[in-house]
Chains A and B, each alone.
Chain A
Amino acid sequence: MLKLKLNGVDVQAEEGWTLLETARFYGLPIPTLCHYEGLSPYGACRLCLVEIGTGPNAKLVSSCTYPAEEGLEVRTHTRRVSAARKMVVELLLATCPDSKTIQDLAASMEVQKTRFKVRHDDCILCGLCVRMCSEQMSGKAIGFVNRGETRKITTPFDIRSEECRLCGGCMYICPACQLRCQGPDAPGVVCGSCLNVSPVCLEEYEDALCYLDPCCQCLKEEVKKK
């Protein structure tokens, strides 16, 4: 067993666990997009960022790929982490503004609008479909092609692959190209079907103090009472 600190609390993790697994084991909600149980961790979406280390050495790492280490100090909900996640979700929102999955993620993080130019792509290159195809469906029909700006996911030579059995696993798992948000608002605006309130704790303290899921549950209950 490894001993580490999670938000100031002494916790234990099994050898080989990632920080994400450890945090989830202790019930701390960390948002993820490219992570999927049963597929290998990939670290593409950067939504699961957590802060490790102390003082000036503190840095942000993706918790889905970072292994739990003896004596590590991990903070999952600091102001810095929160700001980084919001930035990531804004960027994702700019790429695929109509995706329901991304819209929901944004709403849950109190992001209502993206400041970036909206692109309307169908892909965020999270690699979920590629891993689904090769790891669960043993198809190995699709993969990343080209690089940089022109990087995309496709079959060899952009033609129907002989390996592909049309199982639909890639479409089932895609967070970007399938479910569309049916909200009435313009693209790039989160439709707000979820109540958007900022966590008050972060304004007063460096760390979020409670882990009510979803965040701001406290405020919502107060709103209800009124």
Chain B
Amino acid sequence: MDVDLKKVSTIVDKYQGAGGALIAILQDIQDEFNYLPPDALKSVAEKLKIPLINVYSMATFYKSFSLKPRGKYLVTICLGTACHVRGAKNILGEVKKRLNVKRGETTEDKMFTLETVNCLGACALGPIMVVDGEYHGQMATRKVDAVLEKYKSKGEN
């Protein structure tokens, strides 16, 4: 996959080549491309003059960084204790069935990426599902379809 290295270059320049800004740089790249392309990581290492392995270590350490291309919308399902007792597992099962993907996978039409998280800190809203940064609290298996449909039609337009 071709990556626009000019964009990477602009992002790195924004931080004036400071090695300590690596996380911030990776976050910006992830915002730009929706994931961290290998070529972008190489370019970052080169520009910051740090070993590629350091960049790679950082990118694999944090769960919020993804080295695989992600879908347009990120579906995050909370499996924390409060959500778990309120049936988050059923929600996850329903979403898996609807999207036909496993945890960490992206749908074929590159629309959704399914991920789980151990707590979102919004336990009162549980079971909770986040799509594209929007929180959907008090989820139920019968509500899943409507939420996913909403984003699907939004994404197609």
Contacts and interface: CB of A to CB of B under 8 A. Distances in A.
A145 B57 contact: yes
Nearest to B38: A157
Interface string B39-58: 00100000000011111110
Contacts of B61: 146-147
Contacts of A161: 52-53
B60 A141 contact: no
A134 interface: yes
Contacts of A140: 51, 53-54
> What size tier do the contact residues of chain A reach?
10 to 19
The DSSP consensus for interface residues of chain A is loop
A143 B57 CA distance: 7
A143 B60 CA distance: 11
A27 interface: no
A143 B56 CA distance: 9
A163 interface: yes
B42 to A, nearest CB: 8
A145 B56 contact: yes
B38 A143 contact: no
A144 interface: yes
Interface of B: 38, 41, 51-57, 60-61
11 contacts: A140-B53, A141-B53, A143-B51, A143-B56, A145-B57, A146-B60, A147-B60, A156-B53, A161-B53, A163-B52, A163-B53
Closest 4 CB pairs of A and B: A140-B51, A143-B53, A156-B56, A156-B52
